[in-house]
Amino acid sequence: MADVIPFTCWRPSKEYAAQVAAAPYDTFSREEAAREIAQHPLSFLRIDKSAALFGAEVDEYDPRVYARARKELDNWYEQEIMTPCDPALTPAYYLYRLTQGSHQQTGLIACASVADYQQGIIKRHENTRAKKEADRVEHIKALEAHTGPVLLTYPSDQKLDALLKELTQERPVSQQPAVQVSTKEESAVQAPFQEQQEQVAQASSQEQPAQRALPLYDFVAPDGVRHEFWRVDDAEATRQIQACFADISTLYVADGHHRAAAAARIAKLYQEQQCDGLQEAQYFLVALFGSDELQVLDYNRVISDRAGHTSEELLKAIEAVVDIEAQGDQPYRPSQRGELSMYLEGTWYKLKVREATRPTDAVDGLDVALLHDGILAPLLQVLDPRSDARISYVGGARGLTELAERADESSGVAFALYPCSLAELFAVANEDRLMPPKSTWFEPKPRSGLAIHRIAHRIASA
């Protein structure tokens, strides 16, 4: 029985939404975030990754970083860039649709229960790193808000998924288009998005029935992903949504393990100190999508050296573990479970797992585990993939060419995997076990900054 509730949402004023919305903070390096902010000055990265506003001489975990994030957010409140969705602060659910090419996913923005997370109703599948978890704790403490939604999923529920989609089509028309530019200054910042947004608005007017509710937001981000966002105003629809989740026994963290763990620590801290906002702190911001809605991409690896092996020695050693076939100099993408690809010195190879040797264990039988146990650890001496500085992870959205470029830069080797399935994720989590790090990459990713869950007043340092 999942406790998923409506919440009082603070969000960007509609004319700022496209400028504010940003991909999750942890998909950017500090340098990448700084470039993004320079290009898009109102990017939510100013708040979610405020270390990018400092020079390299300031550590990314310096207390000044969190104080700056708070200052930036306070400025947005004062300038009404970020405002309450409802002046009466009435809690509500929000519908969120992302469209990338032919893929479309519709889900819900809400708050989930910390108690559910602690009791295993919300299951995780990855460990967290202490430093990254502490970073999000300090961030939430400083801002007194959950700013980036934790991505949750569940085995698709036909009734719930149909309800969410229906609500985007049959709500009374009560909102105005989100794409407005009212000043010269805003126009200058908005210009890169404006042509795409006008096309979206034109398509909407031509293709959608007149009774379709206009979303609070409807914009196309620079990466081509369309974002639509609605408020659920209807009391009966709100009751139905909450009832549907009450019938779902388990939710799963798909992405955002550090944010979820940090939320649990904040809840404990508020409880211990009996702070204002104690009740709000028992819930955290989430984006929920049924498993049939989500798209899982590959999450790949680059090793910066060959652990002393020549190319010939490494190929011979790998041949003892898997079947291997050269594919030439063009990127080769695995086409099914049990297939991997490797890039080494200008050549791509297809690696085929010998199924007779695959363990039946839910974790050990994963392709990513077979890669680690059969090749990375024994041959390339990557013993701890969480801490070894020689391994880097590249999400599937970045493409295979980047793998080759990184491997060539360091005279290393790269591996691409077939995407892990949600069925595999559920199987591991249901056993209360953990997948190897960086096993799943979800795309498109919900944007941060479109909704904030505010908690309360300042609390003492932990």
- DSSP labels for 371-397? HIIIIITTTT----TTT-TTEEEEEGG
Do 25 and 56 fall within a single domain?
Answer: yes
Do 259 and 333 fall within a single domain?
Answer: no
Cβ atoms of 289 and 153 closer than 8 Å: yes
CATH number at residue 315: 3.30.1760
215 DSSP 8-state letter: P
- Domain contains 10: yes
Cβ atoms of 151 and 105 closer than 8 Å: no
- Domain contains 320: yes
- Domain contains 33: yes
pLDDT of residue 127: 85
Supply the pTM of this predicted model.
0.85
Cβ atoms of 442 and 291 closer than 8 Å: no
- Domain contains 461: no
- Domain contains 72: yes
- Counted domains in the chain: 2
Do 283 and 302 fall within a single domain?
Answer: no
- Domain contains 462: no
Do 93 and 210 fall within a single domain?
Answer: yes
280 DSSP 8-state letter: G
Do 261 and 347 fall within a single domain?
Answer: no
- Domain contains 459: no
Do 175 and 279 fall within a single domain?
Answer: yes
Do 137 and 220 fall within a single domain?
Answer: yes
Do 229 and 259 fall within a single domain?
Answer: yes
Domain limits for position 291: 4-295+444-454
pLDDT of residue 437: 87
pLDDT of residue 278: 83
Element (H, E) at 99: strand 93-100
Do 350 and 253 fall within a single domain?
Answer: no
Element (H, E) at 356: none
Cβ atoms of 416 and 298 closer than 8 Å: yes
Q: How far is it, in rounded angstroms, from Cα 247 to Cα 240?
A: 11
Do 151 and 171 fall within a single domain?
Answer: yes
Do 263 and 169 fall within a single domain?
Answer: yes
pLDDT of residue 397: 86
Residue-by-residue pLDDT tens, the chain, 462 positions: 899 999 999 999 999 999 999 999 998 999 999 999 999 999 999 999 999 999 999 999 999 999 999 999 999 999 999 999 988 899 999 999 999 999 999 999 999 999 999 999 999 998 888 899 999 999 999 999 999 999 999 999 999 999 998 999 844 444 433 333 233 333 333 343 444 444 444 544 444 443 456 799 999 999 999 999 999 989 999 999 999 999 999 999 999 999 999 999 999 999 888 777 788 999 999 999 999 999 999 999 999 999 999 999 999 999 999 999 999 999 999 999 999 999 999 999 999 999 999 999 999 999 999 999 999 999 999 999 888 899 999 988 889 999 999 999 999 999 999 999 999 999 999 999 999 988 999 999 999 999 999 997 444 444
Do 382 and 314 fall within a single domain?
Answer: yes
pLDDT of residue 213: 62
141 phi and psi angles, rounded to 5 deg: -60, -45
What lies within 8 Å, CB to CB, of 430 at 6+ separation is 123, 250
